Amino acid sequence: MNNTLIKAYQTAVVLSLLLLVPLVAGAYDIPGITGTPGSPVFNLTTGTGTVVTGEGNQVHMWLFGVAGGTVQYTGPTLIVNEGDTVTINLTNNLPVPVSLVIPGMNVTAAVAAGPGPALPGILTKEVPADNGATTVAYTFTATQPGTYLYHSGTNPSLEVEMGLLGALIVRPAGYDAVTNRIAYNDPASTYTHENLFLLTDIDVRFHNAVENGNLTNIDFADYRREYWFINGRNLPDTLAAQNTPLLPFQPYNAIARLNPGQTILYRMIGAGRDGHPFHTHGNHHLNIGSQGQLMGAGASLAWNAFTTAVYPGDTFDALMTWTGQGIGWDVYGHASDIDNPPLGFSTGGAPGPEDFDNNGNGVYDQCNDANNLAQPGEDPAAHCVPLPVIMPNIQDLTFGMFYSGSPFLGAFGALPPGEGGFNANAGFFFMQHSHSERELTNFNIFPGGMATFLIVEPPSAPVQ
Ligand SMILES: [Cu+2]
């Protein structure tokens, strides 16, 4: 075939491959529980559990869980839709009364079953300590989409500290899990993936006192945190699998992943005793909502931040993306081709990393080819610009456990014996963490605490 025929053939191949790609890429959601649309009912209970900390300590907790299941830290994430009439039936297996408050929701509480009556608490009606005999129903209409905290409204100094808290997500009326992934009823809140970052902290001395029955000897003014959590886990457990049997009371992890150009919705909640400056590496995040309120039509009052101060009771909805724009060199390694040999089409197979910027002209990584343009999202000014430093010899480098051996996205390079294995796709790992440095420890052991990672995976590794 002559060159024209080859190009026509390859263009057809590329187009047919594109047709096989779904219009909406695979996406992941926040794990949680849902109910019957319109009128979901959640049956929750309380109980004691043991949280395993990042350095291996075990901490006595009071926790919410689905009735008949395992209690958990943090409590089950409740996911409902705007306009739903939500009922949460709560029973209690703890030695103290408990209750449920949901700041931002107009909740009605009443005894639904059992001997009753509910105890008249300070903030809401309470479930007595009666080994599950009484059920109190908390009912509200989810009028406003957004991210919310629920927690015990009974002696919160003790009971929120002990772990009686969780997240509530209200999806907007126009939301569709496949075709319209929005945080609010506004296209400016559109996202590809979403993550929950429920931020908590504890003082293990209080938990030891409760475990030993010394409920009256706790001085909450004298608190000193030793552990900081995201979704009930400390680093490195924030990166472990969901529902791992190693952490039976801590089902949720906190890994964030995206492909270049995609957008993640971070739902951040402050539920500890201290505020936490939550900091994103890789890019700033755009705070589009807070406390269930969109920051203006078209998100016009949204604000960019590298760090958002998340104080107790705060919730923020923030959009995070990554494109590699503006760094001034070609993160895909198109210029040098040292680490990333031509793959995929050029060897007769599926698209590979080196095909990503190919317009179907049959020429691969020829930066002097006028048809070889920057890919969507790639900075045209950086396309084919080489890495502006000379890489040191490997014996002169210190290796992080997530380094692929190459500075280029999706490329592997040489690593010393024993290094590697934690970065399967040669992605970029960006720490997302509390910028209070002391909160990056587990009982004074660094690294740990309130930290996780955003993994920018190369286009060859679609994030589902
Ligand atoms: Cu940092």
Q: Are 412 and 353 in contact (CB under 8 A)?
A: no
- What is the distance in A from the centroid of ligand 1 to the CA of 457? 20
Query: What torsion do the CA atoms of 383, 388, 394, 399 make, to the nearest 10 degrees?
Result: -80
pLDDT band at 372 (very low <50, low <70, confident <90, very high): low
- What is the distance in A from the centroid of ligand 1 to the CA of 431? 6
- What is the distance in A from the centroid of ligand 1 to the CA of 357? 31
Cis check: omega of the bond before 447, within 30 degrees of 0: yes
How far apart are alpha carbons 313 and 275 in whole angstroms? 9
Q: For residue range 439-463, list pLDDT tens digits in order.
A: 999 999 999 999 999 999 988 889 9
- What is the distance in A from the centroid of ligand 1 to the CA of 107? 39
pLDDT band at 195 (very low <50, low <70, confident <90, very high): very high
How far apart are alpha carbons 184 and 134 in whole angstroms? 37
- What is the distance in A from the centroid of ligand 1 to the CA of 55? 20
Q: Are 234 and 225 in contact (CB under 8 A)?
A: no
Q: For residue range 294-310, list pLDDT tens digits in order.
A: 987 665 889 999 999 99
- What is the distance in A from the centroid of ligand 1 to the CA of 430? 9
How far apart are alpha carbons 86 and 80 in whole angstroms? 8
Which pTM does this prediction carry? 0.86
Q: Which two tokens mark 383?
A: 């396309």
Q: Is the pLDDT of residue 22 over 80?
A: no
pLDDT band at 15 (very low <50, low <70, confident <90, very high): very low
Q: CA 428 → CA 174, 257, 322, 323, 405, distances in Å?
A: 33, 10, 10, 12, 11
Q: Is the pLDDT of residue 362 over 60?
A: no
- What is the distance in A from the centroid of ligand 1 to the CA of 162? 29
Q: Which of 35-49, 145-159, 183-197, 373-387 has the lowest mean pLDDT?
A: 373-387
- What is the distance in A from the centroid of ligand 1 to the CA of 295? 27
Q: Which amino acid is at 190?
A: T
- What is the distance in A from the centroid of ligand 1 to the CA of 281? 6
- What is the distance in A from the centroid of ligand 1 to the CA of 118? 47
Q: Are 389 and 415 in contact (CB under 8 A)?
A: no
- What is the distance in A from the centroid of ligand 1 to the CA of 454? 12
pLDDT band at 225 (very low <50, low <70, confident <90, very high): very high
- For residue 450, the tally of other CB atoms under 10 A from its CB is 29
- What is the distance in A from the centroid of ligand 1 to the CA of 334? 29
Q: For residue range 79-134, list pLDDT tens digits in order.
A: 999 999 999 999 999 999 999 999 999 999 998 888 867 788 888 999 999 999 99
Q: Which of 295-299, 328-332, 408-412 has the lowest mean pLDDT?
A: 295-299
- What is the distance in A from the centroid of ligand 1 to the CA of 440? 10
- What is the distance in A from the centroid of ligand 1 to the CA of 95? 41
- What is the distance in A from the centroid of ligand 1 to the CA of 278? 9
How far apart are alpha carbons 185 and 177 in whole angstroms? 14
Question: What per-residue confidence (pLDDT) applies to 375?
Answer: 60
Q: For residue range 133-146, list pLDDT tens digits in order.
A: 999 999 999 999 99
Most confident segment among 213-222, 263-272, 298-307, 351-360 = 263-272
Q: Which two tokens mark 223?
A: 């608190």
Angle at 460 between CA 389 and CA 235, to 5 degrees: 75
- What is the distance in A from the centroid of ligand 1 to the CA of 449? 13
